[in-house]
Amino acid sequence: MSLSLHDSAVGAVRPFEPLTAGYVGIYQCGATVQDAPHIGHLRPAVVFDILRLWLERAGNQVRFIRNVTDIDDKILNKAAAAGEPWWAWAGHWERAFTAAYDALGVRAPTYEPRATGVVPDMIAFIDRLITRGHAYTGRPGNVYFDVRSYPDYGSLTHQRLEDLVSSDDEPEADDKTDPHDFALWKAVKATEPADASWDTPWGRGRPGWHLECSTMSLRYLGETFDIHGGGIDLRFPHHENEQAQSRAAGYGFARYWVHNAFITQAGTKMSKSLGNTLLASELLKQAEPIVIRYVLTAAHYRSTLEFSDSTLAEAAAAYERIIGFIRRAGERVGSGQSVAEVALPGPFVDAMNDDLGTAIALAQVHEAVRRGNTALSDYQDEEALAALLDVRAMLAALGMDPLAEPWINSSDSSAKADSALAALVESQLEARSAARAGRDFAAADAIRDRLAAAGIQVEDSPAGPRWELASGS
């Protein structure tokens, strides 16, 4: 296939060739369900949904695994502070993440494993690392990965071990051989719930964060798989540690690493500690879900996305231009057949194949809208239909065709409102036409003025009056 992707491990865009022709295995680091999802969590979900769509459109079968980290220090601490069982706390926020993904049209993964569901696999993985000389035990319940036993440590992020600070995983631990070593298994603490730990040959405890993903990817994608993805903030130490322990265990692990960039506000990386997170629940009150997906698609996934109220407003206006054309073209030539088999415009395909160039791809959508609007104005119905099919096919490749699932069902109330608005406006236009036919131009102008005040723009044409919502309405 002709797709090229930026591989973080080599720091360059390179041709993507799946391990097995026609089959692609993807592992995306999912949420640690400690709190409410925000827009920073939504970006990788949309990015990898688009990658999955694009691979499937090329004829590949994609096995897409996105994990849930349902136990860690933050979950335990926040649940305790709230007086809730840790598993209930994690379950509540897991459902909130799922609802946010669903709202943005992100399809469910092939499978979504929880860390707590693969504990026996983790124990076997640790035993393998100890046997191969890459892990050691500390106090009862503590097991660490020996980074100096793996000479290639730091290769993913292009760092030398001697230049790295000590691991931020249990930095206070005094039973490590080297401060850079990281926890594979963590001893139970007296302050933690009894059901938040498991018995192992090395003592009772719970898994280290990095071990979870290596174990789940092995179980559901095999020893070697095609793409590992996530936010760029996960590259170190999480992904570096994943790669080290998996390859030290003798597995090929990920062949390509794909990372999306940060979202910033006023130039500052979004962070709960800075109080500048935009919760998904609040965003969905401010804008239609498809507009939020548009925002997350409009910038290249490796570009930092600056988010503000104007970002949302600009996206809403841009999407309204698209949907306005689809609506007008549908009234004239019909909405068109299913676009699953419609050939995509060459420049759009080239943009997507060039490391998922969604910004350029969306520019092609708007170019087709411009072409289609011109065709409608010139009463060239065949050209208008061709443009409509192009627009819908390109949007479908990005997961945003408004006339397909999930948007067509999720917008029933919006469709009813549009239908009611259309009926009311058409009745006013009929009254205006009757007034003009009776040469009562004052009444006709008054109707037009009332419509304009309500945000309805009327254009007279040889075929009769046409209307649309004024820009910004």
Kindly state the DSSP code that residue 466 receives in the 8-state scheme: E
144 near 136, Cβ under 8 Å?
Answer: yes
User: H helices of 263-308, where?
Assistant: 280-286, 289-298
Picking from 34-48, 316-330, 413-427, which range would have the lowest pLDDT averaged per residue?
Answer: 413-427
Highest mean pLDDT: which range of 278-292, 306-320, 351-365, 411-425: 351-365
pLDDT given at position 237: 94
Tokens of 300: 């290249």
pLDDT tens digits, one per residue of 102-140? 999 999 999 999 999 999 999 999 999 999 999 999 999
Predicted confidence (pLDDT) at residue 308 exceeds the cutoff of 50: yes
The Cα 322–Cα 338 span in angstroms is 18
Per-residue pLDDT, 435: 79
Q: Tokens 């006709």 identify what position?
A: 444
pLDDT at position 303, please? 97
Give the β-pairing of 305-306 and 456-461: unpaired
- Strand 135-137 and strand 61-66: the pairing is unpaired
Contacts of 436 (CB under 8 A, 6+ apart): 444
What pLDDT score was predicted for residue 454? 72
For the ranges 137-146, 247-256, 303-312, 414-423, the lowest mean pLDDT is seen at: 414-423
pLDDT at 273: 58
Q: For the ranges 175-189, 242-256, 270-284, 433-447, which has the lowest average pLDDT?
A: 270-284
175/154 Cα distance (integer angstroms): 23
CA distance linking residue 50 with residue 137, whole number of Å:
42
* Interval 136-173: pLDDT, tens: 999 999 999 999 999 999 999 999 888 887 665 665 67
The model carries a pTM of 0.85
pLDDT at residue 473 tops 60: no
